[in-house]
Structure 1
Amino acid sequence: MKFSTYKIKHPGLARFVQYILFNYSDNADQATVITSYANNNICLGIAKEKELIGGDRNIKRFHCKGGVQSYLSGLYSLPHHFQVDGIFDEICIDFTPLGYYHFFKEPLKTYVFGENLLHELWGAEGTAFFETIFESVELKKRGSMIEKFLLSRIIEFENPFLEQCLYYMHSDKQFSLTSITKALQCSEKRISRTFQRYFDLLPKDYMKMIRFRKALWMLQKERISFTGIAHECNYYDQSHFIKEIRLFTGMTPRQLHSSLHCIEDNVLVSLQS
């Protein structure tokens, strides 16, 4: 299994799209399980002649199906496993939480399967566009073409309150939910209702997810102690850090560290062949 990422160049689009990820294999005998972890992005997956099917224990499998197939992956806490067999060609467009609503009008769900998302989003033109994209072998060219296409498809979305909430949650000062309510002069219930409406997630869970991602990126580096990560990521202590890593991954930090695969400093997954 091979991977490559495309970094968005246009600053206006970079606010809404984190990156474009290409997952591909030309080995008909290869079988790979890709494990992704809780993240603050929303993925529109587009695959050539493969349809993603949900399953038990958070395992999802790609089955052969003609044409261009698509699915939507929202915010989730538990690790998700994607089983890929044989020839494979997939494009993942990863939106920021607010960026999602600059392309989609429907409230976010954890997963959307079995629907023609491309047609619903962009009509027959959208499906035809990605059919053309899959004809191109050169990945940078694919990325550039998709970037131009997305720039022409941005829709208006304004929610200053939600934007302010996310600003404080992603601040390096590591605001607590209580301090955010004071800064915004609102109740915790209002923030909770807003997050449940737009992200199908509680704000406390979203903030834990942000902390986990910061710890995950630190964990994949060498020579950083668990105590140091716990302190830097604002866990109570090392025990709290280990407990939360187990919660999000089902592994100890040491087990997770040895399993992580970094894709061009943009994506962290675990792989099993």
Structure 2
Amino acid sequence: MLFKAIKPHHPILKKYVQYVLFNQGFEATTQTSFTSYPNHNICLGIIRGQLVQQPNGQKVLHQRPLISSYLSGLYTKPNTHYVAGCLDEICIDFTVAGYYRFFTLPAKQFVLDGDVLSEAFGAGAIPFFETVFSQADLSTRCQLIEYFLLQVISEKPLEFMEQVINCIDYYGLTRVAQLSQYFKCSEKKLYRTFRTYYDVGPKEYLQLLQFRQCLWYMSRHPHLNLDEIAFHANYVDTSHLVRAFDHFTQQRPSSLKPQLVSVDGQVLITNSDKNTYCP
């Protein structure tokens, strides 16, 4: 398997797009499973094939010649994708605030049915990405994708939700009460707004940010023990960290920590027999 993450170069896109992730598999007889873990971004997935959700919640990629697309919003539980054969997937990962610069579709947990590309960007989107997939060089693909995004971005005034997300990022606020006080609004308003825009509440979102910070500490500082990681990630204690991992990964941190590998400094993957990854 090949994993490649490329950050956008254009200064406008840097505010709204975290990276473009390319997932490729070249063995037609290989069966692979990928488990994505909760993250604070929203992904537009574009595939040569079709992703189908099974009744048990598992997502299976079927190889087909046509391009299909899906949206993956904020979620708080692992999601497993099963792939049989070759894989060619482009994941455009938007910042939480930046997503609504490109979409009017609500950022719910998963949108797998329908033609997301055409619905969001018009009939020319699929032919354009057919051209992108025809390029073997991933840097060239990324340049084309940047060109496309610059054509469809909306430069509308900041909405309330985007102001809240930017405030969290800039000031590092970690409590809903702090947000309520800063914006002089009720916690109920924050809750309603978060649920409408992202399908998670503000407390869940702040917990998600803390969890991802913890993952990066585990990856970048493998010599740290769990007590030290809990301190740097602002958990009350190690037991608090363990409960967060149980909630977000259904694993203990001690079992996940040795598997974490950084892809281009942007994406965390776990390198296991099951080829699990977490964009």
The TM-score, its normalising length taken from structure 2, stands at: 0.93
Q: In 2, distance between residues paired with 1:250 and 1:220?
A: 18
User: Closer, same or farther in 2 for the Cα pair 1:228/1:250, shift >3 Å?
Assistant: same
Other structure's SS at 1:152 match: helix
Runs of 5+ unmatched residues, structure 1: none
Q: Is the 8 A contact 1:36 1:270 kept in 2?
A: no
Q: Is the 8 A contact 2:52 2:60 kept in 1?
A: yes
**Is residue 200 of structure 1 aligned with residue 190 of structure 2?**
no
Q: In 1, distance between residues paired with 2:110 and 2:172?
A: 32
Q: Match of 1:47, as an amino acid?
A: I
Q: Aligned-pair distance for 1:71?
A: 0.8
Q: In 2, distance between residues paired with 1:97 and 1:158?
A: 16
**Is residue 220 of structure 1 aligned with residue 228 of structure 2?**
no
**Is residue 42 of structure 1 aligned with residue 42 of structure 2?**
yes
Other structure's SS at 1:220 match: helix
Aligned pairs for 1:158-197 (under 5 A) are 158-171=157-170, 173-197=172-196
User: Closer, same or farther in 2 for the Cα pair 1:157/1:201, shift >3 Å?
Assistant: farther
Q: Is the 8 A contact 2:102 2:153 kept in 1?
A: yes
Aligned residues: 272
Aligned to 1:10: 10
**Is residue 109 of structure 1 aligned with residue 79 of structure 2?**
no
Aligned pairs for 1:52-91 (under 5 A) are 52-91=51-90
Q: Deviations over 1:173-211 (max 9, x none)?
A: 443111221111111011111101111110000000000
Other structure's SS at 2:134 match: coil
Q: Aligned-pair distance for 1:232?
A: 1.4
Q: Deviations over 1:91-128 (max 9, x none)?
A: 00011112111111122211111211111122221111
Q: Deviations over 1:67-105 (max 9, x none)?
A: 111111110000111111211111000111121111111
Other structure's SS at 2:66 match: strand
User: Closer, same or farther in 2 for the Cα pair 1:33/1:212, shift >3 Å?
Assistant: same
Q: In 1, distance between residues paired with 2:67 and 2:172?
A: 43
Q: Is the 8 A contact 2:174 2:206 kept in 1?
A: no
**Is residue 240 of structure 1 aligned with residue 240 of structure 2?**
yes
Q: Aligned-pair distance for 1:129?
A: 0.5
Q: Aligned-pair distance for 1:43?
A: 0.6
Q: In 1, distance between residues paired with 2:81 and 2:156?
A: 32
Q: In 1, distance between residues paired with 2:230 and 2:119?
A: 44
Q: In 2, distance between residues paired with 1:261 and 1:33?
A: 17
Q: Is the 8 A contact 2:5 2:19 kept in 1?
A: yes
Identity of aligned residues (%): 38
Q: Aligned-pair distance for 1:168?
A: 3.3
Aligned to 1:126: 125
Q: Deviations over 1:212-260 (max 9, x none)?
A: 0000111123101211111111111111111111111111111111232
Q: Match of 2:123, as an amino acid?
A: A
Q: In 2, distance between residues paired with 1:146 and 1:125?
A: 14
Q: Match of 1:19, as an amino acid?
A: Y
User: Closer, same or farther in 2 for the Cα pair 1:4/1:167, shift >3 Å?
Assistant: same
Runs of 5+ unmatched residues, structure 2: none
User: Closer, same or farther in 2 for the Cα pair 1:32/1:261, shift >3 Å?
Assistant: farther
User: Closer, same or farther in 2 for the Cα pair 1:193/1:34, shift >3 Å?
Assistant: same
